[in-house]
Amino acid sequence: MKTYDAIVIGSGPGGYPAAIRLGQLKQKTLCIEKDQPGGVCLNWGCIPSKALISTAHLYEKASHSAVMGIKATVELDPNALQDWKEGIVKKLTSGVRSLIKGAGSELMAGTATITGPKTVEVTLADGSKETFEATKGIIIATGATTIEIPTFKFDGKQIIGAKEAVSLREIPKRLLVIGGGIIGLELGMVYQKFGSKLTVVEALPNILTGVDPDCAKVVERRILKLGGTIHTNARALGYERQADGSLLVKIELDGKEQTIPCDVVLVAVGMRPASKGLGLERVGVHIDARGFIPTDKAGRTNIPSIYAVGDVSGPPLLAHKAMKEGEVIADVVAGHKVEKDWVTIPGAIFTDPEIATAGLTEAEAVAKGYEVTVGKFPFAALGKAMAMNETEGFVKVIADKKTKQILGFHIVGPDASTMISEGALALEMAAFLDDVAMTIHPHPTLGEAMMEASAHALGAAIHIANR
């Protein structure tokens, strides 16, 4: 039996940073991956979808650039787009291999099963098996998998999940998305901009549940403006394949059944933790009712030598949360006295316009007993946004009315995903409204909206009327 200090199962956003950090800390480390390095994020999640999203944004902007003095005819080549996207994926997955190796850790292809508190059995491609020991700890970083609906089983062509949706080489004329959450709307809007007639079917009363309602409404209006249809409080019941190859989807809306013709159905109802088949029950690792592996602030499960990071350890299911956990838990395994102690985990939704959040929403703050003050600054009043011809949305800041300490930032608009880092830093540093409002922001930039929103909450905004 070959012995290591640590064994990492999975090389996604949680696993590969853990393996790299452990190598940097001179820990003998084995990282086991059953598929491709980089996990869901690099192979068919974060990165491929953002390549498509940026292309769709550029395509739409170029198609409507006459108002800015550019008259152009643009044509989409789906095959060239996919080739470009796949080149990015290959470059990044190769980079992960190199980074793990460069840090001094080993990457092994195979399927891992935990056979004891410190032992892992790996089944190789040829069916042979090897057993390894981890003297300091095993880190589970297996991520999550797409949820499939029994009445809409994936066929990889017309009934698809996110994995197939980022690899389409033909733009569907009519796309029906089941699920009005982040994945469904991000990818749905991509193909809507490419020319698909978009229909969204959401079982809950609103799309983007859990997001600041004002932010979600801006995205909803945008989808409708582009010609899309959104059905909320609706259930997808099943489908029939028509003689011409199209699909007829049956939904229940307001207690009545109706049918919607389409060509492709994207099922985007969420992700479930990939905790099955790891042998966890055999060694006594606790798994909760939803399939997540509960951990403490040091990433430990109920078995002290076994750790879990990323999606498999619980929400929020975000790559950047997994990355930071991987780094922190690697330090723990190496013997350092550290733990997860962040104030906030920012979120970014790459719809059009983008949505980004950090901290509490207004409703959450009130529910926690705060008396709040709210500042809001629209991009329509910002010179840089006008110059970009992207003026939809706003920056909203939530603060304690008495102390003026910032409780949350919520942005919907251009480059929201980049801007939210300032909000996350403000929360981590326990900043007050004055700290952001009095910080000189360069002009003209989108970031000025952070300053103006904070000043607005204080009644001191310059470029918008104060309450």
Q: Which residues are identified as catalytic?
A: 443
Nearest to 390, CA basis, from 441, 435, 430, 354: 354
> Cα-Cα-Cα-Cα dihedral of 316, 321, 323, 324, to 10°?
-140
Nearest to 377, CA basis, from 345, 403, 409: 409
Those residues with Cβ within 8 angstroms of residue 14's Cβ, 6 or more apart along the chain or in another chain = 39, 141, 143, 309, 310, 311, 312, 322, 323, 325, 326
The separation between the first and the last C-alpha atoms of the chain, rounded to the nearest angstrom, is 71
Reduced to 3 states (helix: H, G, I; strand: E, B; else coil), residue 466 is: coil
| Residue 314, both tokens | 């619980």
Please name the amino acid found at residue 135: T
Do residues 199 and 189 make contact, with C-beta atoms less than 8 angstroms apart?
Answer: no
Check residue 440 and report its DSSP letter.
P
- Edge-to-edge strand ranges of the sheet holding 174-178: 159-160, 264-267, 174-178, 197-201, 229-231
Q: Alpha carbon of 200 to those of 12, 228, 242, 299, 412: distances in Å?
A: 30, 8, 21, 37, 20
Q: DSSP string of 330-367?
A: HHHHTT-------S---EEE-SSSEEEEEE--HHHHHH
Q: Could you tell me which residues are beta bridge partners of residue 199?
A: 176, 229
